[in-house]
Chains A and B, each alone.
Chain A
Amino acid sequence: MGKSMISNLITGIKDVLVYQPPDQPTPFVLNETATEKAEIDGEFFPPAAVAEGIRELEFMINYAKKLDAFMKKSSKDLRSKEKHEIVKKIKAEFEMIQTEWKEIKKYTQKNHSIDGMYNNTVISADISENQSMLESIYQLPVNKDVVIRSITISDQPKIKALVVFMDGLIDKKIINMTLLEPLMFMKNIQEHVQGEDFISFVMEECLPSGQASRIGSFKEVQQAINTGDAVVFFDGSGEAVAVETKGYEHRSIGNPTTEQSVRGSQNAFTEVLRVNTALIRTMLHASDLVTEMIPIGARGHSNCAVMYIKSIANEELVEEVKRRVNSISTDIITDSGVLEHFIEDFPKNPFPQTLSTERPDRVAIHLSEGRVAIFIDGSPFGHILPVSFFTLMHSSDDFSLNLYYTNMLRLVRWFGALLSLLLPGLYLAISTFHQEAIPTELLLSIAAARAQVPFPTIVEILFMEFSFELIREGGLRIPGILGSTIGIVGALILGQTAVTAKIVSPIMVIVIALTGLASYSIPDYRLASAFRLSRFVFVLLAMSMGLIGVACGFLVFIAMLCSLKSFGMPYLVPLAPRTVNGGDTIFRSSAYHQKRRSDALNTKDEIRQKDTSRTWITDSSKGGNDHE
């Protein structure tokens, strides 16, 4: 029955008067899932993987029970009844069980792909099974990165092979020239087609690659493929061959950007781990320089390189570093800063407990001191450990310049660090609580400058500090060369206008500018950040109790530094506790006077050089006499 005119009219009026939402599809909303506890015995497991793992085990147990029952029943039947009928029945049942097993296998493959872990799965002799496993792991054919190339090698007999690699991570020329070509042109290998011998034959006689290794599990297969190697599977063999075919794009070696040097080396690390380790090798030609690779991350599978000189570094230290790196249980680490948080003694303390550097020459020097270096794939920074507070105050140029000039620079740095830490706090304390300590003329000048400022000193300081941090952060984020320009212009304009507007006094601009400048004299960026953070605490302490607050804060600050340790080594060594220093603490001695390595590192070989490291002084020269 059609609607009446009145009801149509009412509907029409209603449509005009009442707001109707536009006819749109329902917007996508990402549903929140209930968080589940995913930690078992301190190890990381994705929750889905745990649940599926349990289900998988249940399947397996049920299957095992069925198999057991089938075996018992078959054995009983075979003993008692007519053989022919029984064999037929058993055959049918066995086929059913086999089908079930295939289903379970398929299911477990599907489940494994949830967390990407196939740690216990071994390579099958059946190549089609391996292919289906690979398709399951890499989500093929949806995933377009992984290429599975199916080939047939040899004529007598014909052997099926699979070449698997990650497109973009490999060098296609290497794949074609050193893998596909030799394999496809391989002829008559009848006498070698038996188990391990065949793999050995292929590796020794067919693959002209620099690096080829035999692998047996899908964990190794994944590690190889994910890092740019190609893996070759052969039908009938329970092993595969991983061939080095890396050839991905990366940034070339550039100049250091955060640790610039006037006279030192101009090389800096890149994002490629192997390039970084090679850069150190170019500086340090020691045969016992060891590079150990430790994979980190259940999903990321990043490689972490631990480097040390075997004959110098303390074994306990090396073992401890490896233990900490090995024990990391997370899904992915791609940055050296994140790695640091996982392994340092006091991750909540803002003071850096490793020396983060982008300079191979620095790493080489510290390795020769007996320290350990660690690198992670994808990060252009390496960590040197253990380090003391004093090491962080050294710069890469220190040994390139004249002894006295370097020591003067170091003095300036220490003075800068103190200013960076205490200057605003001291100014606030003295100008607010202890005016009597200021010479009369200066006091009058400060008072005159502050006369028209409507805020207390603490507000001035916080305003200026906040502005300074804002300019610093903004300058970093603005792209390209504009960043520094805007930073300078911003600082100038902001400072000038703040003084003109009488929001802050001119002396406050001087104090904050001096403090900011002083903080840049600290060579280590993270140490400078820690000082910056501590500065705010000192400002608050000064605001509360004047010089008493600053003194108490300073004492607690030093006590905190004394209690810190970097991989078991006291942070203020060789000052606290007092140990034999290598002639390079606050000031440095001449390179030829630094005869011993740092005592705190407890190295295997303490002596760096002989007492007479400049033998030419004692040897007679062949030149003429000056007095002739």
Chain B
Amino acid sequence: MNDLHPGKLGVAEGIALVFGIVMPRVFLSTVSNLIQQDGPILWLAMVIYTIIPLIVLYMMAYVHKGITGDIFMVCQKLIGTIGAWVILLSYSVMFLSNGALILRLYSEYTLLTALPRVEFQLVIVWYAVSAGIVCYLGIEALTRTSYIVMPFSIAAIGMILLLLVPFYITYNLTPWQGNGVMQAVQTGIKGAGYNVGVLALIFLAPAFQNARTIKKAALYALSYAGILRVSFILVYIMVFGTSVGAEKTMPLFELARLVYLNQYLQRIEALFIVVWVIFGLLAVAGSLYVGLYLLSVLLKLPTLRPIVPLGAILIANLAMMPPDIGYVLEVDQKLITLFDVGIYVFPALLFILAWWKKRRGKLCGSASS
């Protein structure tokens, strides 16, 4: 046990880690773009892109099964040192860029919704420092914080979805095929990369109790995230319809704005900012931690604490690079290709190599006997 693998994390911590990394995008413009593509059948795409990462995780668990050591050792044994470097460096870039992108998007939405007169660089620095501190406190603190605050955050979102019952127009869900079932399936397959965060469980495997814990955590985390996403999308479409919904840049904020109970309970979206800030920060901190962890493994560092400030500065600078929100959304669309490589290409490659090695081992074993 060293500083990188401080203790034995359990299922709850695993769920919180994955949920924290994969969930926040649902509150961002990604949903609006997807609605424009798929129409009311978007829920099917969401179901697909929840199932695919789960299969990928089970494949990676199979890869990890027969080989002891951290993810670098696993990759090294299967594909060689250079291959391992390429794969882990790519994943590190994926997580860090995901963190930077979420950081920028949340900062932009903070300016739009809560602090219109603040400089966006200041917001980015603020979030980066906060995420850096959480990250610095370690994986235990990060995951446990996540699972303490997540139930309250989910309950708050659930409450909003329920309070909007008077605005539900079920006809908005028709035609149920939307822009076509195949289109939804395509979106689901293409968008699975957004769930690359589930692989954090494999990368941080030595910190977890055992393989069963990892599988269970992935199953629960993706299921909860899937249920919440599907519910959210259904409510969003029922409330706004596909055409109006596709134009909204901040889906959750727009939904919260509609809530009006009485003159004493109105405009709860301002208070709701707390919830989505927490979601965003946990996602940034989680992505930052996994990205830096992979770098630490590659560089064989005994601890990642000294590079946390560097990592925070790195993602803050990355987040400041795009000149405007339009460009950020464009980058977000392009980044999915990189994430897809992470969810399809590398796991498939490692799985085939592991399967082939195990098969060859068996054949050799049976031939010698």
Contacts and interface: CB of A to CB of B under 8 A. Distances in A.
Interface of A: 430, 433-434, 436-437, 439-441, 544-552, 554-556, 558-560, 562-563, 570, 572, 575-578
Contact of B110 (A436, A548, A555, A556): A548
Given A439-B263, A548-B126, 17 more contacts: A433-B114, A436-B267, A437-B270, A440-B263, A545-B118, A548-B114, A551-B273, A555-B134, A555-B149, A555-B281, A559-B141, A562-B140, A562-B144, A563-B137, A563-B138, A570-B144, A578-B10
B346 interface: no
Interface of B: 9-10, 12-13, 110, 114-115, 118, 123, 126-127, 130, 133-134, 137-138, 140-142, 144-145, 147-149, 263-268, 270-271, 273-274, 277-278, 281-282
Given A555-B134, A558-B145, A563-B138, A548 B10 contact: no
B149 A558 contact: yes
B141 A552 contact: no
B12 A551 contact: no
Contacts of A544: 126
Given A434-B114, A546-B114, A559 B133 contact: yes
A547 B147 contact: no
A213 B273 CA distance: 71
Which among B134, B145, B273 has the highest number of chain A CB atoms within 10 Å?
B145
A547 to B, nearest CB: 5
Interface on chain B toward A: helix, strand, loop, or mixed SS?
A: helix
A555 B263 contact: no
Contacts of B265: 439
A560 B110 contact: no
A577 B134 CA distance: 17
A554 B10 CA distance: 24
Contact of A563 (B118, B123, B140, B277): B140
A551 B130 CA distance: 10
Contacts of A436: 267, 270
A548 B123 contact: yes
A440 B266 CA distance: 9
A577 B133 CA distance: 20
Given A439-B264, A559-B133, A559-B134, A552 B127 contact: yes
A192 to B, nearest CB: 61
A572 B137 CA distance: 15
B273 A560 contact: no
A558 B152 CA distance: 13
B179 to A, nearest CB: 37
B13 A577 contact: yes
A556 B133 CA distance: 7
A576 B144 contact: yes
A556 B9 CA distance: 20
B115 A555 contact: no
Contacts of B148: 558, 562, 572, 575-576
A569 to B, nearest CB: 12
Contacts of B267: 436-437
A551 B10 contact: no
A548 B138 CA distance: 23
A545 B126 contact: yes
Nearest to A579: B10
B264 A562 contact: no
19 contacts: A434-B271, A436-B270, A439-B266, A545-B115, A545-B118, A547-B277, A551-B273, A551-B277, A551-B278, A552-B130, A552-B277, A555-B149, A559-B141, A559-B142, A559-B145, A562-B145, A563-B140, A577-B140, A578-B10
A437 B267 CA distance: 6
Nearest to A557: B145
Contacts of B264: 439
A547 B114 CA distance: 8
A437 B268 contact: yes
Nearest to B280: A551
Contacts of B140: 562-563, 570, 577
Nearest to A437: B270
A548 B115 contact: yes
B146 to A, nearest CB: 9
Given A547-B114, A552-B127, A555-B281, A563 B141 contact: yes
A551 B126 contact: no
B83 to A, nearest CB: 36
B142 to A, nearest CB: 7
Contacts of B149: 555, 558
A100 to B, nearest CB: 57
A572 B144 contact: yes
Contact of B141 (A434, A554, A562): A562
B303 to A, nearest CB: 14
A590 to B, nearest CB: 26
Contacts of B123: 545, 548
A552 B279 CA distance: 10
B263 A548 contact: no
Contacts of A575: 148
User: Nearest 9 pairs between A and B by C-beta?
Assistant: A437-B270, A576-B144, A563-B141, A552-B130, A551-B277, A562-B144, A562-B141, A551-B274, A563-B137
Contacts of B138: 563
Nearest to A545: B126
A547 B144 CA distance: 23
Contacts of A549: 126
A353 to B, nearest CB: 16
Which of A547, A549, A570 neighbours the largest number of chain B CB atoms within 10 Å of its CB? A547
Contacts of A562: 137, 140-141, 144-145, 148
Given A433-B115, A436-B267, A577-B13, A547 B273 contact: yes
A545 to B, nearest CB: 6
A184 B9 CA distance: 71
A551 B110 CA distance: 12
Contacts of A433: 114-115
Contacts of B270: 430, 434, 436-437, 547
Contacts of B133: 556, 559
Contacts of A551: 273-274, 277-278, 281
A577 B144 contact: yes
Contacts of A555: 130, 134, 145, 149, 278, 281-282
A430 B270 CA distance: 9
B71 to A, nearest CB: 23
Nearest to B134: A559
A179 to B, nearest CB: 57
A548 B270 CA distance: 10
Contacts of B114: 433-434, 546-548
Contacts of A441: 263
A549 B281 CA distance: 12
Contact of A560 (B13, B118, B137): B137
A560 B118 CA distance: 28
A546 to B, nearest CB: 6
A559 B137 contact: yes
A577 B12 contact: yes
Nearest to A573: B144
Contacts of B278: 551, 554-555
A555 B264 CA distance: 28
B7 to A, nearest CB: 8
Contacts of A434: 114, 270-271, 273
A440 B278 CA distance: 27
Given A555-B278, A556-B133, A548 B273 contact: yes
A562 B130 CA distance: 15
Nearest to B126: A545
Q: Which of B110, B138, B140, B142 has the largest number of chain A CB atoms within 10 A?
A: B140
Nearest to B262: A439
Contacts of B144: 562, 570, 572, 576-577
